[in-house]
């Protein structure tokens, strides 16, 4: 980053909370502005753009590919499905953290989601981890509450919101249809 940008006020994009089931269905991605450095977003089916996500769950699989560069592929499971997460040499912090986490473990991950096309034409959403931390079950449960609340907020968001309208157009799926997923996630919490 140049000195110039350090003087400017920097607004960091907030990390959106999203369940695996919803993130998996997201496929619309776009760039705000024409600049090479302008941020890219994916549009969540419940109608909010996200450029960064905060997710939690159980790390169930960790694959390391050794080649020219070390690269990890990870599966993380929340109560609604699977997140695909990766970390490579451009994410040194995450790379370092992942190397010492074994599957299965509870983890939280902050990262950037991207949409990729599988060879069979399906869209896959994968998260490039910026950081990953092993946590205890309480943190995951807090995350489920937080994500449930914010997902309900999106479902119930008023219809004037442009992202909300765009999502309705693109995904052709009623926002209300996400409610059972939220219920499912909340029900998975064992007290």
Partner 1 sequence: MELKEIADRISEKFAAAGHPIDRAKLEEKINRFVEEFSVPPAEAERSIIGDYARQFGMELPSAGPSKQDADSVIPISEIQAEQWVTVEGQIVTLIPSRSPSVAQSGVIMDSSGTMRFTVWAKANAPVMEQGKWYRLESAVADEYNGQVSLKVHSGTTITELSPDSVPEPVITPLSEIKPKQWISVEGEVTTIFPPRSPSIAQSGIFADNSGTIRFTVWASANAPLLEQGHWYRLDLVESDEFNGQLSIKIHSGTKITPISRDEMPDIEKTPVGELSPGVALVEGKVVAIEKQYSDQILQRGVFADDSGAVRFIIRNSPGAEPLMENQWYAIKGAVVDRYRGALSMQINPGTATPLLEDRSIRPNIIPVAQAGPGIVCLRVKLVQEYENTSERIFQSGLLGDESGTIRFVTWKDDMAQRLVPDMVYSIYYASVDEFNGRLSVTLNGATLLPDEGATIQVRSPNEEVKGAFVHLSPGSGLIKRCPVEGCGRVLSRQNYCPIHEIQPNYIYDLRVKGWLDDGQKTYDTIISREGVEELTGLNLITAQEMAENNPLGLDTVFYHVNEQILGRYLICRGKVFDNRLVAYNCEFQAFDAGMLAELMNRAEGGSHE
Which residue in the set 26, 85, 125, 182 belongs to the binding site for partner 1 (CB under 8 A)?
182
Q: Which stretch binds partner 1 (CB under 8 A): 19-27, 39-47, 83-91, 97-105?
A: 97-105
Task: Report the nearest approach of partner 1 to the CB of residue 81 (Å).
Answer: 10
Q: Contact, 73 vs 84, CB < 8 A? A: yes
Number of residues that bind partner 1 (CB under 8 A): 62
Q: Of 89 and 117, which CB lies nearer to partner 1 in the complex structure? A: 117
Residue 85 lies near partner 1 (rule: CB under 8 A): no
Residue 109 lies near partner 1 (rule: CB under 8 A): yes
Short-list 191, 181, 180, 153, CA closest to 79: 181
**CA gyration radius, the chain:** 17
Supply angle C-alpha 132, 134, 139, rounded to 5: 100
Which residue in the set 70, 101, 115, 135 belongs to the binding site for partner 1 (CB under 8 A)?
135
Task: Report the nearest approach of partner 1 to the CB of residue 181 (Å).
Answer: 9
State the DSSP code for 60: E
Query: Which own/partner pairs from 66-74 qualify as long-range (CB within 8 Å, at least 24 positions apart)?
Result: 70/95, 72/98, 72/99, 74/98, 74/129, 74/132
Short-list 62, 22, 58, CA closest to 42: 22
The residues that touch partner 1, with contacts defined as CB under 8 A, are 8-17, 33-34, 52, 54, 56, 58, 60-61, 63, 75, 77, 82, 103-106, 108-110, 118-121, 130-133, 135, 138-139, 141-143, 145-146, 148-150, 152, 155-156, 176-177, 179-180, 182-183, 186-189, 191
């Amino acid at each position: 980053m140049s000195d110039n940008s350090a003087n400017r006020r920097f607004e960091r994009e907030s990390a959106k909370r999203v369940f695996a089931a919803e993130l998996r269905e997201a496929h619309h991605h776009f760039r705000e502005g024409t600049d090479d450095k302008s941020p890219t977003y994916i549009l969540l089916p419940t109608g909010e753009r996200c450029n960064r996500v905060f997710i939690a769950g159980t790390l169930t699989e960790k694959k390391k590919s050794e080649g020219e560069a070390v690269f990890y592929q990870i599966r993380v499971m929340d109560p609604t499905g699977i997140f695909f997460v990766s970390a490579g040499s451009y994410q040194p912090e995450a790379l370092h953290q992942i190397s010492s986490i074994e599957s299965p473990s509870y983890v939280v991950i902050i990262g950037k989601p991207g949409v990729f096309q599988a060879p069979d034409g399906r869209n896959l959403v994968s998260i490039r981890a910026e950081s990953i931390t092993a946590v205890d079950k309480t943190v995951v449960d807090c995350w489920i509450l937080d994500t449930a609340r914010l997902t309900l907020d999106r479902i119930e968001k008023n219809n004037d919101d442009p992202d909300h309208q765009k999502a309705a157009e693109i995904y052709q799926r009623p926002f209300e249809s996400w409610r059972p997923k939220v219920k499912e996630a909340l029900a998975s919490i064992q007290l």
